[in-house]
Homo-oligomer: A and B are copies of this chain.
Amino acid sequence: MKFFSDNAASVHPAVLEAMARSNAVDTAYDSDRLSRSFDAVFSDLFETQVRAMWVATGTAANALSLAALCPPYRGVLCHRDAHIQNDEAGAPEFYTHGAKLLLADGPGAKLTSETIAARLGEIPDDVHRVQPAAISITNATEYGRSYSASEVAAIGDLAKTRGLRFHMDGARFANAVVHSGASPADLTWRAGVEVLSFGFVKNGGMSAEALVFFDTTLADEVLIRRKRAGHLLSKGRYLAAQVLALLGEDRWLDNARAANVGAARLAGALGDRLLHPVEANEVFARMSPDEVASLRAQGFEFYDWAAGEVRFVVSWDQPDTEIAALADALSDL
């Protein structure tokens, strides 16, 4: 029973079917009918005119976003535990050509307008120190916390006041939308977000994420950067099909809801072992080595996060039986 990552889950049958349906010759790259529909589809979803494109990984989505928002000689303010800082092997530095990540703290990998303002205040305004150009937040965060629309908006206001650009890493955006109850628009552009990395791979996709530009002037440059990064696939229609299949019939929301519900069930079984409020599909818990060993002996796979801490992730396709079994096992600890 695999609870180590939604990264490794299966692909939604509707996605596979949509890919198979795309198996006829079409024009190459992103000139096919499906790819060309992205702007309209995402504009509908976000209730405003956007530009959108597919990329194969969340790392590429984030790194391309940051390259568009931050010149090589400036920096991106993010959380010390952000995926872009810890888990992308320096992709932001590669794509931005050496911009610096400027780290701020806060529980649950969440930033607030206050913590950001404090961190900005520490940066002397001179030519010797790397100056910030952008803010990046992750929603839901690396610890499964979600932002409310007003929390995002407070950061968006700060960004605007300070002349900073604003990116959201939405590798688990669907889970955040479901948890917050806010509309996609309220969680993003209405709150000042200018570019969103909109994750689908953890949500039932195979190899397609979306980049959504609320500042539409950035999109043309990123089309070039995407090609230059080797991320313009020639048979792009198979990526487009994945994204469209998940957006269709609100599958992306259903999948996220299923995962969030499962995580909440595990949280309920954990009691005060819980390390962070569960606001998406990730569950972090305190656990002794013996307890860890006991769970593994029962067939549960999960991730050792830090000394005495473990992480469970519930995937979109996690069988209820597995969730129930793990919840029982956690209660029994």
A127: nearest residue on chain B (CB-CB)?
A: B227
Whole-angstrom distance between the Cβ of A117 and the nearest chain B Cβ? 17
The answer to whether A230 touches B25 (Cβ under 8 A) is no
Q: Determine if A264 is an interface residue (Cβ-Cβ < 8 Å).
A: no
The answer to whether A223 touches B27 (Cβ under 8 A) is no
Q: Determine if A331 is an interface residue (Cβ-Cβ < 8 Å).
A: no
The answer to whether B56 touches A28 (Cβ under 8 A) is no
A side interface size, CB within 8 A? 72
Q: Determine if A329 is an interface residue (Cβ-Cβ < 8 Å).
A: no
Whole-angstrom distance between the Cβ of A305 and the nearest chain B Cβ? 11
Q: Determine if A2 is an interface residue (Cβ-Cβ < 8 Å).
A: yes
For chain A residues 184-205, which have a beta carbon within 8 Å of chain B?
201-202
Q: With A20-B16, A25-B9 as given contacts, are A88 and B233 in contact (CB-CB < 8 Å)?
A: no
User: Which one of A38-46, A95-103, A267-275, A277-285 is at the B interface?
Assistant: A95-103
Residues of B within 8 A of A98 (CB): 90, 93-94, 96-98
Whole-angstrom distance between the Cβ of A255 and the nearest chain B Cβ? 14
Report which of B89, B93, B100, B131 forms a contact with A129, defined as CB distance below 8 A: B89
**In the complex, A10 Cα to B229 Cα: how many Å?**
24
Q: With A88-B128, A90-B228 as given contacts, are A234 and B8 in contact (CB-CB < 8 Å)?
A: yes
The answer to whether B59 touches A230 (Cβ under 8 A) is yes
* Residue-wise interface mask of A (93-135) relative to B, using a CB-CB cutoff of 8 A (1 in contact, 0 not): 1111111100000000000000000000000000111110000
Report which of B28, B94, B99, B201 forms a contact with A90, defined as CB distance below 8 A: B99
* Residue-wise interface mask of A (194-219) relative to B, using a CB-CB cutoff of 8 A (1 in contact, 0 not): 00000001100011000000000000
Residues of B within 8 A of A20 (CB): 16, 20
The answer to whether B56 touches A72 (Cβ under 8 A) is no
**In the complex, A58 Cα to B19 Cα: how many Å?**
21
Q: What are the 8 tightest A-B residue pairs by CB atom distance, in nearest-first order?
A: A60-B230, A93-B98, A59-B230, A8-B28, A7-B234, A97-B97, A7-B28, A89-B227
